[in-house]
């Protein structure tokens, strides 16, 4: 008897997860379709001798900050994504000067910079001029995920910090109104797959969005003067009550907003995706089967999220002889 598409997909995803957890080598970014040599500059024991307490320091700091403000957890994961989405994971989003990514309109709601500064200051005391801000962001995103009930994964380290940060490039990060083709091309240009797109979108299982981003969906979808017809009617009424002002915030997941689970995908099946880019994942034939598989098997999302976060953290990184540095202050280049 032939297997259904979701079941076939489930088996495929599980096999990919098993291979990834079994020691797949880390690769530097190459154009999609090309073969990359193993990047020996990214290793699991990169700081074993030079800063052996690196991960412990990050873990304790993240724990302290999130215990005071739970909403920082999804913000730190998002900060890492915004960094990796532009120029790779090189901490360019942290550079704080006029015209940098941090000053872009797309970065206005980014949070967590003070957490990174706190960690960097402590590391400079214990291991001066050793740990890159890019590696700190990578470790923080993992520990923030674990802190809110998500999976743990091993990170490879050795990234350098970039020297360039441009606001105009930050505007390229998807902001919730793009079509699926645009999203697929954006991810593929960064060495990430269709599966990574759908799984990393699942980070919206937690966190919140400013209501201004969805005003058009609620009141004037594509200039019609009406709401987006793809929104469930009850959910639409809920959003209109929550978002009377554009400056208000609304949770991505209205069902289990503080729990790291696969409810995000179940919500999409019920037409309860907050952003247009969320809901489109279930209406597009290329991404719908993956959404269905992840909704059907909650543990699959939990496991695959770790794999896709590793893929994100290792795409387009600066290492070895690449032009970059180890910043002593994450906000500024050394010179």
CATH number for 172? 1.10.520.10
Higher pLDDT, 60 or 2: 60
In a domain, 65, yes or no: yes
Q: Which long-range contacts (CB under 8 A, 24 or more apart) does 117-122 make?
A: 117/330, 117/331, 118/61, 118/65, 119/57, 119/58, 119/61, 119/62, 120/327, 120/329, 120/330, 122/57, 122/61
Torsion from C-alpha of 329, 85, 319, 302, nearest 10 degrees: 100
H or E segment and range at residue 265 = helix 263-269
pLDDT in tens, 129-183: 999 999 999 999 999 999 999 999 999 999 999 999 999 999 999 988 899 999 9
Tell me what pLDDT residue 323 has: 85
Q: Which of 288, 257, 294, 248 is nearest to 271 (CA)?
A: 288
- The range of the structural domain enclosing residue 196 comes to 53-207+252-314
Q: Is 204 annotated as a binding residue?
A: yes
The verdict on residue 38 lying in a domain is no
**CA separation (Å) from 292 to 15, 171, 202?**
18, 31, 13
The verdict on residue 221 lying in a domain is no
In a domain, residue 130? The reply is yes
pLDDT of the residue at 335: 79
Residue 278 DSSP one-character state: H
List, in order, residues 6 or more apart from 93 with CB less than 8 Å away. Answer: 79, 82, 83, 86, 101, 102, 107, 110, 165, 170
Identify whether 266 is part of a domain: yes
Establish whether 253 is an annotated binding residue: yes
Asked whether residue 212 carries a pLDDT value surpassing 90, the answer given is: yes
pLDDT, residue 9, reads: 57
Is pLDDT of 197 > 80?
A: yes
Q: Tell me the CA end-to-end span of the chain in Å, nearest whole number.
A: 66
248 labeled part of a ligand binding site = no
- Over residues 289-313, the mean pLDDT reads 96
Q: Is residue 293 part of a domain?
A: yes
For tokens 């554009």, what's the residue?
246
Chain position carrying tokens 């690769």: 27
Using a pLDDT cut of 90, give the percent of the chain over it: 84
- The answer to whether the annotation marks 174 as part of a ligand binding site is yes
Note the pLDDT of residue 316.
87
Please state, in angstroms and rounded to a whole number, the distance separating the CA atoms of residues 71 and 73. 5
| Strands annotated E in 186-237 | 208-210
CA dist 140 and 58 (Å) reads 6
256 is in an annotated binding site: yes
Rounded-to-10 torsion of CA 231, 232, 234, 240: 0
Q: Taking residues 266-282, what's their average pLDDT? A: 97
Average pLDDT, stretch 227-250?
95
When divided into structural domains, the chain yields a total of: 1
Give the chain's largest Cα–Cα span: 66
Asked whether residue 140 is domain-assigned, the answer is yes
DSSP helix/strand/coil, 289: helix
Of the chain, the percentage scoring pLDDT greater than 70 comes to 88
| Angle between helix 113-126 and helix 133-147 axes, rounded to 10 deg | 120
| pLDDT tens, position by position, 184-193 | 999 999 999 9
Q: DSSP code of 100?
A: S
**Which residues are catalytically annotated?**
82
* Phi, psi of 332, deg, nearest 5: -140, 150
Q: Say if CB 282 and CB 288 are below 8 A apart.
A: yes
Q: What is the pLDDT of residue 13?
A: 55
Residue 252 contacts residue 230 (beta carbons within 8 Å): no
User: Residue 330 falls within a domain, yes or no?
Assistant: no
Q: Give the C-alpha separation, 63 to 145, whole Å.
A: 11
Arithmetic mean of pLDDT, 285-313: 96
Residue 82 pLDDT more than 70? yes
């Amino acid at each position: 008897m032939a297997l259904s598409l979701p079941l076939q997909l489930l088996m495929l995803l599980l096999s990919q997860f098993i291979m990834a957890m079994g020691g797949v080598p880390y690769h530097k970014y190459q154009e999609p379709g090309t073969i990359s040599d193993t990047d020996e500059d990214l290793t699991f024991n990169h700081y074993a001798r030079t800063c052996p307490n690196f991960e412990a320091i990050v873990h304790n700091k993240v724990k302290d900050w999130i215990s005071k403000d739970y909403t920082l957890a999804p913000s730190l994961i998002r900060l890492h994504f915004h960094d990796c989405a532009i120029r790779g994971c090189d901490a360019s989003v942290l550079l704080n000067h006029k015209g940098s990514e941090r000053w872009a309109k797309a970065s206005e709601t980014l949070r967590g910079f003070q957490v990174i500064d706190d960690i960097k200051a402590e590391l400079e005391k214990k291991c001066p001029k050793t740990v890159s801000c890019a590696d700190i962001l990578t470790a923080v995103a993992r520990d923030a995920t674990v802190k809110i009930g998500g999976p743990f994964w091993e990170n490879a380290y050795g990234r350098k910090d970039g020297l360039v940060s441009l606001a105009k490039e930050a505007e390229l990060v998807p902001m919730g109104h793009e079509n699926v083709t645009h999203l697929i091309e954006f991810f593929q240009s960064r060495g990430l797959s269709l599966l990574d797109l759908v799984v990393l979108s699942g980070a919206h299982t937690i966190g919140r969005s400013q209501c201004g981003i969805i005003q058009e969906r609620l009141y004037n979808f594509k200039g019609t003067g009406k709401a987006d017809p793809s929104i469930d009617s009850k959910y639409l009424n809920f959003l209109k009550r929550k978002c009377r002002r554009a400056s208000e915030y609304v949770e991505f997941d209205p069902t289990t907003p503080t729990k790291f689970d696969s409810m995000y995908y179940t919500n999409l099946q019920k037409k309860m995706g907050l952003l247009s880019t969320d809901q489109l994942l279930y209406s597009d034939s290329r991404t719908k089967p993956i959404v269905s598989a992840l909704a059907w098997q909650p543990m699959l999302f939990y496991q695959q999220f770790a794999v896709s976060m590793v893929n994100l953290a290792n795409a387009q990184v600066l290492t070895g002889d690449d032009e970059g540095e180890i910043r002593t202050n994450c906000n500024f280049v050394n010179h």
